[in-house]
Every structure is written in structure tokens, then in C-alpha cells.
Amino acid sequence: MFFLGGISVQNRSTRKLVLSGFFIALGLVLPFVTGQIPSIGNKLLPMHIPVLIAGFVLGGKYGFAIGFIVPILRSLLFTMPPMFPIAIAMAFELGVYGLMTGFLYNKLQRNTISIYISLIVAMILGRLVWGIVSYFLFSINNTVFTWEMFIAGGFLNAFIGIVIQLIIIPLLVSALNKYGVLSYE
């Protein structure tokens, strides 16, 4: 067994695996809070929050895996969101969220500004990926995915959720950082 900074490599792997399960579980459960009213759930984006935080806490590789798994698994278990095209497009979107928050935050100075930079860049890139994937998935069904659908689905309908994420996530990440929970190798 190898030791890094007083914590064995095996313990770090176990910690990351357990936290990954925790974030996946949160991603599956949080949408039930708004699940009875889908129009509100679509605006609050409850599945996005644990994925974004997972990227900060566990890094980009784990963040990507968690983000990709959550919408697919939720679709398989609860049939919401519908697998095609929504859950598949969301898997790519959320995967990019987790990847980019973890990657950027790890590369930056890890302060409040870097939290916002990582979060905003991840949210923009994730939505762009969602739009590109949605365009291709819709075209498989000979359905048009328009620029208006992209703007509405990615930004206008999601505005409240984006604001909530920009308030809650930096507060949580700052607190986790303060208490030493964010530890990258």
C-alpha cells in the first residue's frame, strides 16, 4: 500500500468511490423534490447540482463519470427523464459539467474567483455540448432542433436554476474547501 500525505492510496480510492456513490444518489433523489411538478423541475435543475459539486470535490474524471451516469441511470430506474433524446443529451451535458468544474478548479488557484470561473465555464460548455448532442439526436428522428429550442432549453427555461447554482455551489464549495474536504492528488 502506498501512502500520500498520510492517507493511503487505497483509502483515497475508497473515499472517492464512496463519495461518487453519494453524488450519484443525490442526483437520483433531488429531482423527486420537484418531480411532481415537471415544469418547476425543468427550471430548478436539481440533477445538475450534485454533479457540479462532484467535479469540485472529486476532480474532473470522477465528475465526468458521475455526470454521465446520473441521467442515464435515472432514466433507467424511473423513466424520467426520457432516455431518448433527453437523458442521452443530458448525460453529455452533465458529464462536461463534472469534467470542467474538476479540471478547471484543480488548475486554478482554488479561491472564490476560481470557483465562479470553473462553474461558469463548465455551465456554458455543458450547455453547448447539450445543444450539439441534441441537434444530432433530434436529427436521427428527422426532428428539427432549432436555435430557439437551444436558447430556450439551455438558458431561458433554466434561468432560475442557473441563478440557484451560482449562489449555492460557490457557498458549498467554499465551505468544503475551508474544512479540507477538497483534496486533489
Q: Rounded to an integer, what distance in angstroms lies between the CA atom of residue 106 and that of residue 184?
A: 7
pLDDT digits (tens, 9 = 90+) for 135-173: 999 999 999 999 999 999 999 999 999 999 999 999 999
pLDDT of 184 above 60: no
Asked if 71 contacts 91 with a C-beta cutoff of 8 angstroms, the reply is yes
Q: Rounded to an integer, what distance in angstroms lies between the CA atom of residue 90 and that of residue 108?
A: 26
**Average pLDDT of span 88-115:** 96
Confidence of residue 37 (pLDDT cuts 50, 70, 90): confident
Single-letter code of the amino acid located at 166: L
pTM: 0.92
pLDDT in the model for residue 28 = 97
> Where are the alpha helices (H) located in the chain, listed in sequence order?
9-34, 38-44, 48-58, 60-78, 88-107, 112-140, 147-151, 159-178
Domains of the chain: 6-31+43-178 (1.10.1760.20)
Q: Give strand pairing partners of 8.
A: 3
